[in-house]
């Protein structure tokens, strides 16, 4: 058919040339509608002839057209061809529309792309453009509030501390609830990969400015193609490609500064001494003498410790991209540099990265593609006490900022550190042994770093033997090396006891993924019935090698590294693992007449960590979608005037969670060790050969539509996720002597359900003024429905010391668990505790042990209150409602945007508050100084200060007084920009946008802690909602420019 | 056709091979390979010892619990992590010490049972033929049985009433005698104290004829079980059980009839010339019948080691009670054992610390389990208790231990007007001799004595605990009570 038409055309040309011998000159310029730039190399052809030319470097053309010619066809790769009617004019300006606008919006899905209107699964898309200017370390931190059903929590303001990401709630108990992250088709390493106090988020190695889009796959239909790893949702990152058009060079950069958003207002030295001495007078046996304000260099000591711990840090980021395409090749090249000082002293982050993405069409059949990204990132931090497991570190900086007394100084009169062995010196105070470190000394002396070298690369070949059929092979790799170092000085602090400590850790994690897919598209029944088939296989190998060495007893304080000279022989250790996936998968998409859509996918995963004969499992899901708007009866009805693109959809699937299954979990193992100098073997792991993945049955129904000619687009989904076979470490009788006293078994279950709503509203779309609002809203209900037999609850502890959460059947996971308190008894000033019988009990710390606890009704001594006997469920830390809102305004050359995130109806255990009110020598909040009980009749929430009382305010037993509503609305980001176009051409600059923005601008909340967005225990399922001695969040101001050359 | 071939090739390339799905770790051994070589079998033998050497058990804490529960020690610190609740008798079912010791001892028991089962089944199956000899098979088995007996004996010391209370009629501990590797059999009731003793003695009596006579090095003689270790331990077990005849029989096997006392056969165990010499490298004198070895690369862990609890440099050490009537106060200034004490200060006052564990920076001092001097004193006490009369032989044995360190402290028969006088002197001598070695609480329990009151400078005071008081022994840990449905508390 084609050949015949070519032949005909040829014959026609020959004929025409004979007919139209007369010519005239036509000139013009071809530009892009997008940005007005000229397009070189565009083809300009007289319609119906072979007469034509190509535009010059400045986009201009001159053409002799036959006298009778009526039209010009102007075309360029990536732009919609344009038919230009020739008039008498000699000069033409032809503006081409880029093809992206003309064609359907495309969404990245598992192993491919789909037209957005054909997608039956639930997928949210976040554009890279929307996040690249945010002054964060990793792209995942910018996902906050951007998509319904996704909650992202930054644990605190420590640089590069990985955020907690939950897609449709917590979906596991002992395994991870963290989603699968795919970058350009390759599952990548995630989480904090540092072995020191300097957090290092593996995802920060991906430069946010290299990201084209992030697709968040939520329901089973969208995720089932990822089978056993899909239960927590999937985030697909696609990096940028060269766009059609001339070579494009851009520069994006910002500089800014960051400071803590909310520090506690603690007592000054005068207040401290007055308050603590009052507490001593209420408990005279506590100290033999009073606290005083020492004089140092003729001035009274009054130390504001937070000034020595926090700072205003400066930040800068630069990235340059070069991209473009020829008819056969497109390329994207970027280099970036990012350097951020944290708000905590000594906390810094530096990233250097480069990326090359290339696609080349070798011939009609074969296309080659490659993505190559290398990154070096360097993290340094003090011991912030703010990473998971560090909450009670005596060297934790965040805690030192408020616990240390203001009447101690960082330096002695002679300028040396005020230290006494490992701890801070007491400067003549009655407390001789403070136990905590001098932060100035340990900040100066100790060092913690983590340095990542990352290579993310893939290479692909696509073979298209016939139209519609694509055979593709992709080999991808993620090679991550992390070197962590720890140095603790012998002078004071953690290193004092061992006379100095140095440790180097090396972690090399290598993964390769080889994916082969075949997809085929087919249209029949007059193109009304469309099919797309996908079949594929995938292999994935992951190897980890971790080793470390440490030394103690430094030869000379000059040495600050492991490599230095040390007296005691070094020791070390490490671990190794290897695991392997083999997978087979397929997907069918079908739609009929753009009205009925069906999608089904299936995946068979084999995993090396499972026992022989039980390695493989099959997962799958499907969806049905009905587009009412394409029904004639709708098209012709009044509904069509109001609503457009009305879709109803439903999906179901069964997917898995493998994250809880270690590489060798099914095996019973012996490990080596030492008995003195003799090598040993000992039984070390009771494997479970029946172990399998956790499974999620996910149900989803949705409705989406446009309103008033798409002025509003609305999407609603209801989901129900029934999670079964949860892997729990089932406790064994300790007398059995099983290593660890637990065996992992597939035994628990829970569900998540909720509603998601998102709307995009084009409030104004005038030429000079546009205003767009995106709003999303999600609800979530989580409930644990079964645990291991005989296990009624799973206890969650914060940093191994404080029991703060309990997971119980019939309740949401990780409920807060505290002893009920009812304020302070106005008559006596004592904290009112409520025991399990519901009776009110008062506590007086200064009394003899036997009579500290008394009934409030005067009936004598009461049994001591204990969490295990008197504790009660005190609320869920999981927000029941959450979401975000973005507003974008454009007025002429100005743009203004702000984004909000919010979380409602949840509780936080404010453990930090118990510390701020603790009546040991610890410094307290000014609130304590001002409002603690003094006289009978005082109504206050802070009891009578009794020196050494660590019970009344919740330090030794978590109390309900410290459980607070966490509800917040946060102004995440506010930005104002101005764009300059039409600059003099000699500058070579096409346009410049300059902007200013504030990140973490403001929080509306009644929460009294530093910030209701907090996760002291990091990415944990069982102990969420704990705020214990964590650093505050950071607020950043930045000023930047985006320049297109 | 070509297209079809290419399509096919894609999938052939990937292949259906699933070999890569069977991966085994490089740092751990699959259980099927654990008996493949002689070295691995020996590795497992050493592994049993290593599991008992856990810092929570014989690596240090077990001895410390038995010291600080009793009357000789006062804590510098009130840190709950460093046994403060054990010291002031406030441990409850969920206290770390109570949970951790139980777990550590039973972990060792299971390690031993796993080895015993594996050794026997491989031996019967013939898979060990040519790898180990008959004699080695016997030796390894005897070591395992002895270690299991020690584990059960130690459990009784804290979690059960002394045999002496009611001839072992009180609840003992669950007797786990099979290897546990699966989630089955969580429930097992407690055996009576007497039944546990029966099992301990059955294991020891079975082990004795199988045991090796002696090893080739002093290190092995001190750190591995041999025939005389078993006999030495039996003197302790019989003494606790009140079977004084049997205790004498065992004592006579390894204590020569006349001085210098020592074992005539097997490892020549005996008293070391000096007391101080026992506590110095290489820690393997003939007196150290059985000790847990440590090296720079194999340490008990901070807050576990004997040095952590006894060395003045430690912030969490325990110092000695010096009040009138205390063990310290009854020691002569010239006693070599008193000379060994080191000093430090607490709240500005000079206090004394047990000086047996000087290696504080590294904490690699060996942890003693049984010394020859104990065997002699066990023997002497068995003679007196068994015959209900003080004999010259008993006095000689007591003197041998006493006068090594305190040459002018010679007792004669006339020193003891009554049997009780001898037994009191014996108890004091043991308190002096074994200070910091974890025998004091065992002796108080064995004699069903009151644990005396004590009072520390900064740690508060603790009342005396009479037999029959609920806190006289430790509770059964909640971790066991929660899961083992047949378990009962104390």
Chain A 584-623, residues with CB within 8 Å of chain B CB atoms: 606-608, 612, 615
Q: Do B34 and A670 touch (CB under 8 A)?
A: yes
| C-alpha–C-alpha distance, residues A793 and B418, integer Å | 59
Whether A689 has its CB under 8 Å from any CB of chain B: the answer is no
Residues of chain B with Cβ-Cβ distance to A678 below 8 Å are 42, 46
Contacts with B22 from chain A: Cβ below 8 Å:
608, 612
Task: Tell whether B53 is covered by a domain.
Answer: yes
Task: Measure the CA angle with vertex A756, ends A754 and A759; round to 5°.
Answer: 165
DSSP calls for A483-497: EEEEEE-SSSGGGTT
User: B183 vs A732: CB contact, 8 Å cut-off?
Assistant: yes
Residues of chain B contacting A514 with CB distance shorter than 8 Å: 14
A619, A602 contact by CB (below 8 A): yes
Q: How far apart are CA A568 and CA B315, in angstroms?
A: 22
Contacts of B51 in chain A (CB under 8 A): 682
Report DSSP state, residue B208.
H
Q: What is the pTM of this model?
A: 0.84
DSSP-assigned letter for residue A468? T
Whether residue B24 is contained in a domain is answered as: no
Which stretch of DSSP H or E encloses residue A270? Answer: helix A269-281
Instruction: Return d(Cα A896, Cα A888) in angstroms, integer.
Output: 6
CB neighbours of A17 closer than 8 A, spacing ≥ 6? A49
Inter-CA distances, A202 with A205, A476, A791, B377, Å: 6, 17, 36, 64
Q: How many domains does chain B have?
A: 1
Residues sharing a CB contact under 8 Å with residue B333, sequence separation 6 or more, in sequence order: none
* DSSP symbols for A656-711: EE-TTS-TTTT--EEEEEEETTEEEEEEEE---TT---EEEEEEEEEEEEEETTTT
- On chain A, the residues whose CB falls within 8 A of the CB of B361 are 498-499, 553, 568
Q: Give burial (CB, 10 Å; 0-12/13-18/19+) of B422.
A: buried
Tokens read off for A926: 């000014």
CB A384 within 8 A of CB A197: yes
Please give the Cα distance from A316 to B212 (Å, whole number).
73
Q: Which of B7, B29, B40 sits opposite A518 (nearest CB)?
A: B7
- Tell me if A92 sits within 8 A of A27, measured CB to CB: yes
Q: Is A453 exposed, middle or buried (0-12, 13-18, 19+ CB in 10 A)?
A: middle
User: Which among A537, A571, A670 has the least Cβ separation from residue B14?
Assistant: A537
CB-based burial label for B217 (10 Å; 0-12, 13-18, 19+) = exposed
Contact A224, A105 (CB under 8 A): no
| Predicted pLDDT at B18 | 58
Looking up tokens 């079998």 gives B41
Q: How close is the nearest chain A Cα to the Cα of B125, in Å?
A: 21
Q: Which value does ipTM take for this structure?
A: 0.92
Q: Does A671 touch chain B (CB under 8 A)?
A: yes
Instruction: Give the span between the Cα atoms of A402 and A1029, in whole angstroms.
Output: 9
Residue with tokens 């007289």, as numbered in its chain: A46
Residue A520, chain B, CB below 8 Å: the answer is no
Residue B293 lies in a domain: yes
Extract the tokens encoding A463: 């073979």
What is the structure's pLDDT at B3?
Answer: 43
Buried/exposed A38-68: b ≥16 CB within 10 Å, e otherwise: bbbbbbbbbbbbebbeebeeebebebebbee
The Cα–Cα gap between A915 and A919 comes to: 9
Q: Angle at Cα A107 formed by Cα A105 and Cα A112, nearest 5°?
A: 130
Rg from Cα positions in chain A: 33
* CB within 8 Å: B27 and A576: yes
B44 vs A680: CB contact, 8 Å cut-off?
yes
Whether residues A463 and B6 touch (CB distance < 8 A) is answered with yes
User: Is B483 in Cβ contact with A685 (below 8 Å)?
Assistant: no
Distance from CA of B77 to the nearest CA of A (A): 11
Q: Which of A675, A683, A686 sits opposite B46 (nearest CB)?
A: A675
> Residue B11 and residue A537: Cβ atoms within 8 Å?
yes
pLDDT of residue B161: 97
Tell me how far CA of residue A131 lies from CA of A86, A209, A772, A773, B172, in angstroms: 45, 8, 17, 16, 66
Of A565, A600, A607, A595, nearest in space to A585 by CA: A600
Question: Looking at the complex, does the CB of residue A462 fall below 8 Å from at least one CB of chain B?
Answer: no
In a domain, B399, yes or no: yes
Q: How many CB pairs under 8 A join A and B?
A: 213
Kind of pairing between the strands at A1034-1044 and A968-981: unpaired
Per-residue tokens: B408: 């002018």
Query: Alpha-carbon distance A742 to A738, whole Å?
Result: 7
* Residue the block writes with tokens 């001085």: B259
Please check whether residue A662 touches B, CB under 8 A: no
Residues on chain A touching B26 (C-beta within 8 angstroms)? 576, 578
For chain A, domains (ranges, CATH) are 2-100 (2.60.40.1120), 102-251 (2.170.130.10)
Whether A172 and A187 have beta carbons less than 8 Å apart is answered as no
Q: What is the mean pLDDT of each run of 10 residues along chain A (1045 residues)?
A: 43 41 79 74 82 82 82 79 82 75 72 86 87 84 87 88 90 90 94 93 93 92 92 94 84 93 94 96 90 94 96 94 90 95 94 96 93 96 90 90 96 94 91 90 95 96 93 96 96 91 96 95 87 94 95 94 90 92 94 92 94 92 92 86 91 92 90 94 91 93 90 93 91 92 90 94 88 93 89 83 90 94 95 95 89 93 89 94 93 93 95 94 96 95 94 92 96 93 83 92 94 88 91 93 90
Q: What range does the domain containing B132 cover?
A: 38-483
Gap between the Cα atoms of A854 and A237, Å rounded: 60
As a whole number of Å, the CA-based R_g of chain B is 25
List the CATH number of the domain containing B204. Answer: 1.25.40.390
Residue B15 lies in a domain: no
Other C-beta atoms closer than 10 Å to the C-beta of A292 total 16
Find chain A residues with C-beta within 8 A of B171's C-beta.
Answer: none
Neighbours of B198 (CB within 10 A): 15
How many C-beta atoms lie closer than 10 Å to residue B395's C-beta? Answer: 23
Of A499, A737, A743, the CB nearest to B107: A737
Instruction: Answer yes or no: is B1 within a domain.
Output: no
DSSP E strand boundaries for A489-559: 501-524, 529-552
Residues of A with Cβ-Cβ distance to B27 under 8 angstroms = 575-576, 671-672
Residues of chain B with pLDDT under 50: 1-7, 12, 15-16
Domain assignment present for residue B242? The answer is yes
Query: For residue B12, what are the contacts with CB-CB under 8 A and spacing of at least 6?
Result: none
Please confirm whether the linkage preceding B282 is cis (ω < 30° from 0). Answer: yes
How far, in Å, CA of A81 to CA of A42, rounded? Answer: 10
Question: Under a CB-based contact definition with an 8 Å cutoff, are residues A225 and A587 in contact?
Answer: yes
Length of chain B: 490
Residue B32 lies in a domain: no
- Say whether A134 sits in a helix, a strand or coil: coil
Bridge partner residues of A1034 (DSSP): A260
């Amino acid at each position: 058919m084609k050949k015949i038409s070519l032949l005909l055309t040829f014959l026609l040309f020959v004929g025409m040339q004979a007919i139209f011998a007369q010519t005239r000159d036509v000139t013009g310029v071809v530009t892009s509608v997008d940005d007005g730039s000229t397009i070189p190399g565009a083809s300009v052809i007289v319609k119906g002839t072979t007469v034509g030319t190509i535009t010059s470097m400045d986009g201009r053309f001159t053409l002799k057209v036959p006298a009778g010619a009526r039209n010009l066809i102007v075309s360029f790769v990536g732009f919609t061809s344009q038919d230009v009617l020739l008039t008498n004019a000699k000069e033409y300006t032809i503006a081409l529309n880029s093809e992206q606008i003309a064609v359907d919006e495309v969404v990245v899905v598992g192993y491919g792309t789909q037209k957005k209107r054909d997608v039956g699964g639930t997928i949210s898309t976040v554009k890279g453009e929307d996040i690249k200017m945010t002054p964060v370390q990793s792209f995942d931190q910018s996902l906050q509030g951007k998509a319904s059903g996704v909650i992202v929590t930054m644990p605190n303001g420590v640089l590069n501390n990985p955020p907690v990401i939950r897609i449709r709630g917590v979906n596991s108990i002992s395994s991870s609830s963290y989603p699968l992250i795919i970058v350009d088709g390759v599952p990548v390493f995630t989480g904090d990969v540092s072995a020191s106090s300097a957090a290092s988020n593996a995802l920060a190695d991906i430069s946010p400015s290299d990201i084209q889009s992030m697709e968040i796959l939520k329901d089973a239909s969208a995720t089932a193609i990822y089978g056993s790893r899909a239960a927590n949702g999937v985030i697909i990152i696609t990096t940028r490609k060269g766009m059609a058009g001339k070579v494009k060079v851009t520069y994006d950069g910002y500089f800014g500064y960051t400071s803590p958003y909310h520090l506690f207002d603690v007592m000054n030295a005068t207040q401290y001494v007055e308050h603590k001495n009052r507490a001593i007078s209420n408990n005279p046996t506590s100290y033999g003498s009073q606290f005083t304000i020492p004089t140092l260099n003729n001035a009274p000591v009054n130390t504001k410790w937070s000034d020595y711990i926090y700072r205003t840090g400066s930040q800068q980021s630069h990235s340059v991209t070069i991209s473009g395409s020829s008819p056969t090749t497109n390329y994207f090249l970027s280099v970036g540099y990012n350097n951020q000082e944290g708000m905590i002293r000594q906390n810094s982050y530096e990233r250097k990265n480069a990326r090359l993405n290339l696609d080349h069409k070798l011939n009609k059949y074969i296309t080659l593609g490659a993505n190559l990204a290398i990154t070096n990132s360097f993290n340094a931090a003090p011991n912030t006490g703010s990473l998971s497991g560090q909450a009670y570190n005596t060297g934790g900086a965040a805690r030192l900022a408020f616990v240390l007394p203001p009447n101690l100084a960082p330096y002695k009169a002679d300028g040396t550190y005020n230290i006494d062995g490992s701890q801070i010196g007491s400067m003549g105070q009655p407390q001789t042994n403070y136990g905590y470190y001098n932060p100035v000394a340990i900040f100066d002396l100790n060092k913690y770093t983590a340095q990542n070298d990352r290579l993310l690369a893939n290479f692909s070949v696509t073979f298209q033997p016939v139209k519609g059929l694509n055979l593709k092979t992709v080999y991808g790799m993620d090679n991550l090396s992390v070197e962590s170092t720890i140095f603790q000085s012998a002078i004071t602090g953690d290193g004092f006891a061992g006379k100095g400590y140095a440790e180097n850790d090396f972690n090399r994690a290598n993964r390769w993924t080889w994916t082969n897919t075949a997809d085929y598209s087919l249209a029949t029944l007059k193109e009304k019935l469309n099919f797309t088939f996908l079949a594929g296989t995938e292999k994935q190998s992951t190897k980890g090698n971790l080793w470390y060495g440490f030394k103690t007893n430094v030869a000379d304080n000059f040495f600050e590294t492991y490599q230095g000279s040390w007296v005691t022989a070094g020791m070390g250790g490490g671990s190794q693992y290897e695991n392997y996936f083999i997978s087979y998968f397929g997907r069918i998409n079908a739609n009929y007449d753009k009205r009925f859509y069906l999608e089904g996918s299936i995946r068979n995963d084999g995993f090396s960590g499972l026992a022989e004969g039980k390695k493989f499992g099959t997962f799958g899901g499907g969806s049905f979608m009905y587009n009412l708007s394409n029904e004639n009866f709708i098209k012709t009805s009044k509904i069509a005037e109001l609503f457009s693109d009305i879709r109803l959809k439903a999906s179901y699937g069964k997917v898995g969670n493998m994250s809880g299954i270690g590489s060798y979990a099914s095996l019973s193992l012996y490990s080596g060790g030492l008995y003195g100098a003799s090598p040993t073997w000992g039984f070390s792991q009771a494997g479970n050969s029946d172990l399998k993945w956790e499974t999620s049955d996910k149900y989803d129904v949705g409705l989406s539509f446009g309103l008033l000619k798409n002025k509003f687009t609305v999407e609603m989904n209801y989901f129900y996720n029934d999670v079964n076979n949860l892997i729990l470490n089932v406790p064994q009788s300790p007398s059995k002597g099983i290593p660890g006293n637990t065996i992992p078994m597939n035994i628990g279950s829970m569900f998540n359900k909720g509603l998601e709503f998102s709307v995009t509203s084009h409030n104004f779309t005038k030429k000079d003024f546009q205003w767009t609002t995106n709003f999303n809203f999600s609800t979530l209900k989580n409930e644990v429905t079964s645990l291991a037999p005989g296990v009624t609850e799973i206890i969650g502890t914060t940093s191994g010391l404080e029991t703060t959460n309990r997971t119980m059947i019939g309740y949401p996971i990780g409920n807060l668990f505290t002893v009920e308190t009812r304020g302070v008894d106005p008559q006596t000033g004592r904290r009112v505790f409520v025991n399990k019988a519901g009776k009110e009990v008062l506590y007086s710390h200064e009394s003899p042990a036997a009579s500290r606890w008394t009934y409030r009704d005067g009936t004598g001594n009461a049994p001591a209150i204990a969490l295990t006997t008197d504790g009660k469920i005190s609320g869920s830390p999981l927000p029941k409602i959450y979401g975000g809102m973005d507003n974008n305004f454009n007025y002429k050359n100005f743009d203004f945007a702000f984004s909000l995130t919010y979380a409602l109806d949840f509780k936080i255990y404010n453990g930090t508050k118990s510390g701020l009110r603790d009546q040991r020598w610890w410094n307290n909040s000014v609130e304590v100084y001002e409002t603690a009980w003094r006289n009978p009749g005082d109504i206050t929430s802070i009891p009578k200060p009794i020196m050494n009382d660590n019970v009344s305010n919740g330090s030794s037993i978590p109390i309900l007084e410290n459980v607070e509503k966490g509800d917040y609305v946060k102004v995440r980001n506010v930005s104002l920009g101005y764009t300059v176009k039409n600059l003099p051409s000699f500058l070579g600059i096409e346009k410049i946008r300059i902007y200013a923005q504030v990140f973490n601008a403001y929080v509306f909340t009644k929460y009294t802690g530093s910030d209701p967005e907090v996760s002291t225990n990091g990415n944990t399922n069982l102990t969420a909602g704990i705020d214990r001695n964590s650093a505050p969040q950071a607020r950043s101001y930045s000023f930047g420019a985006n320049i297109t050359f | 056709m070509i297209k079809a071939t290419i399509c096919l090739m894609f999938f052939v390339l990937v292949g259906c091979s699933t070999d890569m799905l069977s991966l085994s770790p490089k740092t751990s051994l699959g259980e099927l390979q654990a008996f493949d070589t002689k070295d691995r079998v020996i590795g497992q033998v050493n592994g049993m010892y290593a599991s008992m050497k856990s810092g929570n058990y014989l690596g240090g804490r077990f001895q410390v619990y038995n010291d600080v529960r009793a009357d000789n020690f006062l804590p510098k610190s009130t840190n709950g992590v460093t046994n403060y609740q054990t010291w002031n008798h406030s441990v409850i079912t969920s206290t770390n010490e109570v949970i951790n010791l139980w777990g550590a001892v039973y972990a060792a028991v299971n390690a031993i049972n796993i080895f015993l089962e594996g050794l026997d089944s491989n031996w019967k199956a013939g898979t060990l033929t040519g790898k180990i000899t008959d004699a080695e098979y016997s030796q390894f088995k005897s070591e395992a049985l002895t270690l299991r007996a020690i584990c059960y004996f130690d459990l009784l010391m804290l979690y059960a009433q002394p045999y002496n209370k009611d001839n072992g009629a009180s609840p003992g501990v669950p007797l786990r005698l099979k290897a546990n590797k699966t989630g089955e059999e969580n429930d097992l009731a407690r055996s009576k104290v007497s039944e546990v003793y029966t099992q301990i003695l059955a294991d020891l009596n079975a082990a004795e004829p199988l045991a090796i006579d002696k090893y080739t090095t002093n290190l092995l003689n001190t750190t591995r079980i041999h025939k005389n270790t078993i006999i030495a331990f039996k003197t302790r077990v019989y003494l606790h059980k009140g079977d004084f005849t049997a205790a004498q029989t065992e004592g006579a096997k390894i204590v020569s009839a006349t001085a210098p006392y020592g074992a005539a056969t097997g490892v020549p165990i005996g008293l070391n010339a000096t007391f101080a010499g026992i506590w110095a490298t290489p820690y393997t004198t003939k007196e150290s019948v059985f000790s847990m070895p440590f090296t720079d690369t194999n340490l008990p862990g901070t807050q576990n080691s004997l040095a952590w609890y006894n060395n003045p440099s430690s912030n969490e050490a325990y110092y000695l009670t010096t009040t009138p009537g205390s063990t310290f106060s009854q020691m002569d200034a010239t006693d070599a054992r008193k000379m060994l004490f080191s000093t430090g200060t607490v709240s500005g006052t000079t206090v004394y610390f047990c000086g047996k564990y000087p290696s504080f920076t590294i904490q690699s001092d060996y942890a003693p389990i049984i010394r020859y001097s104990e065997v002699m004193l066990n023997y002497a006490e068995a003679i007196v208790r068994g015959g209900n009369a003080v004999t010259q032989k008993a006095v000689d044995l007591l003197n041998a231990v006493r006068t090594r360190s305190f040459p002018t402290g010679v007792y004669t028969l006339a020193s003891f007007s009554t049997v009780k006088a001898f037994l009191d002197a014996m108890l004091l001598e043991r308190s002096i001799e074994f200070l910091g070695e974890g025998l004091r609480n065992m002796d108080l329990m064995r004699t069903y004595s009151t644990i005396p009151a004590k009072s520390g400078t900064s740690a508060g005071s603790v009342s005396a605990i009479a037999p029959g008081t609920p806190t006289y022994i430790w509770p059964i840990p909640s971790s066991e009570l929660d899961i083992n449905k047949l378990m009962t508390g104390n």
